[in-house]
A and B are shown apart, each in its own frame.
Chain A
Amino acid sequence: MWKSYEDLQVLKGVSFELAEKEVKVIFGPSGSGKSTLLRCINMLNPPDKGEIFLHGKNITASGVNLNEIRTRIGMVFQHFNLFAHLKAIDNVSIGLRRVKGFSKEEAREKALEALERVKMAEWADHYPAQLSGGQQQRVGIARALSMEPDIILFDEPTSALDPELIGEVLQVMLDIAKAGTTMVVVTHEMGFAKAVATEMIFLSEGAVIERGTPKHFFMKPESERVRKFLKQLEVLYGTHEQMIDLLEEEEK
């Protein structure tokens, strides 16, 4: 896939395949095109060049019903993007009702099931503003889950959250990954990647620099760029010894 915004080339020929039940983790520095890549996949932001196939069907071709395609590609956003005027339950059921044409009762029942899966059923009647960030994000995940999509895209789902709220969201993501959900996750949560990623892709300046299993990345990453980036993440989330190492390196 290729994508540019005016002069800025954001994606320079990124390509990958995703098998059923796979969990793909995409990471890399900010501005590397991760979010753009996700928005290309569900055609919110169609690529300039390149093709996307969903179950063998080219969704980038002209004349494709994109609304129908998008019901099969769920998305979870960095800033949750819950509908502010709707209670949690209605945030989840609105897609079922308005897009899938479920009756009010059916939609409510399915929405409650989805909220149950993210452990938010008891908050069903709360408005988004009455929920913590972690709770809002779990509702966001339930909203995507309830549509029973083929794939769910996660756009930095925990990076807008306070540290103590990240765990509850990651737990839910681990649960649904283990339940066999096909996922593409843009995240810097390396613990999550280690636990469930089938493949990790390191993106930098719109191109794939390196790809492999979590084991590959954490044991013997090839490129210097990746090593440095992983080290920086460790400094942020890891131990002080490593921070000292890095400082010493800089001094040399």
Chain B
Amino acid sequence: MPDLADILIYIVTKGLAQTLLMTVLGLLIGFVLGIILALMRVYAGKELNWLASGYEKIFRGIPILVLIYIFAFGVPELFWYVDPLQRPLASIIFALGLRSGAYQSQIFRGAILSVNPGQIEAARALGMSGLQTFRHVVLPQALRLAMPSWSNEYSVVIKDSSFAYAVGIVELTRAAYNFSYAFRGFWTVSIGVLAILYFLLTYPITKLFGEHQTKKLKKLGMGGG
């Protein structure tokens, strides 16, 4: 009879690496995309702004599972350069990343806009160019301001990576499922262990970058008071 430790070890060894890989890459793609989209929304002209805002609306309006199906079965040609065995993984990373980009764009846009305009004026008055002002005054503060919402986005992506089970990737959720399938009668326990595992993966991060960072920002008087 398996005990709790067996269940935990099984789930972690079979699934943790995949879950973290999808989460990290998804967040990374979303970060690059989110920054670009946010810049378009804040600084670019009407057309680019419209484009970015349209992108956000579309990707926020489609369920993640549907996105995964689209990338996995709808447009598999998108991943012609990827080893066929790895294509499902690529498609879910893509889906998580593209959707996270839409949310991260909103996070960064809000953060950029909440940098005090007086400081931007002060930077320009010192003789900084627009780019220097962004690089040395706006961006460092925007990244700090974005952290609490960003940690929330991390917890969304890591949890949504569980949808990867739908295209046959063995990650935490699939591992727990497989385990309970092999040991009938352990369904509740193994899914319970899985739930606690997700909680342990998200709570410390949101605590650290969410609550802790919010307090720190308040101390620095950042974000328009």
Q: Describe B's contact surface by its main secondary structure.
A: helix
CA distance A71 to B127 in the complex (A): 5
A129 within 8 A of B: yes
Asked if residues B136 and A70 are in contact (CB atoms below 8 Å), the reply is no
**Given A68-B127, A95-B126, A98-B132, A44–B121 Cβ distance below 8 Å?**
yes
With A98-B136, A127-B220, A128-B221: A81-B128 Cβ-Cβ less than 8 Å:
no
> Pick the contact of B123 from A68, A69, A83, A85 — CB < 8 Å?
A83
8 A Cβ contacts from B125-143 to A: 125-129, 132, 136-137, 140-141
CA distance A70 to B116 in the complex (A): 20
Q: Is A85 in contact with B222, judged by CB distance below 8 angstroms?
A: yes
B13 at the interface (CB under 8 A from A): no
- Chain A residue at minimum C-beta to C-beta distance from B136: A98
B184 CB-CB contact with A under 8 Å:
no
Interface size counted on chain A using CB atoms at 8 A: 27
Size category of the B interface is: 20 to 34
Selected from A77, A81, A147, the residue in CB contact (under 8 A) with B127 is: A147
Q: Among the listed B122, B128, B140, B144, which residue makes an inter-chain contact with A99, where contact means beta carbons less than 8 Å apart? A: B128
CB pair A70 B124 closer than 8 Å: yes
With A77-B118, A82-B119 given, is the CB distance from A70 to B220 under 8 Å? no
Minimum CB–CB distance from A231 to chain B (whole Å) comes to: 32
Q: Could you list which residues of chain B lie within 8 angstroms of chain A, going by C-beta atoms? A: 116, 118-119, 121-129, 132, 136-137, 140-141, 144, 219-222
Contacts A44-B124, A81-B122 known; list 12 others, CB within 8 Å: A42-B125, A67-B127, A81-B121, A83-B119, A83-B141, A84-B116, A84-B141, A84-B222, A99-B126, A127-B220, A128-B221, A129-B219
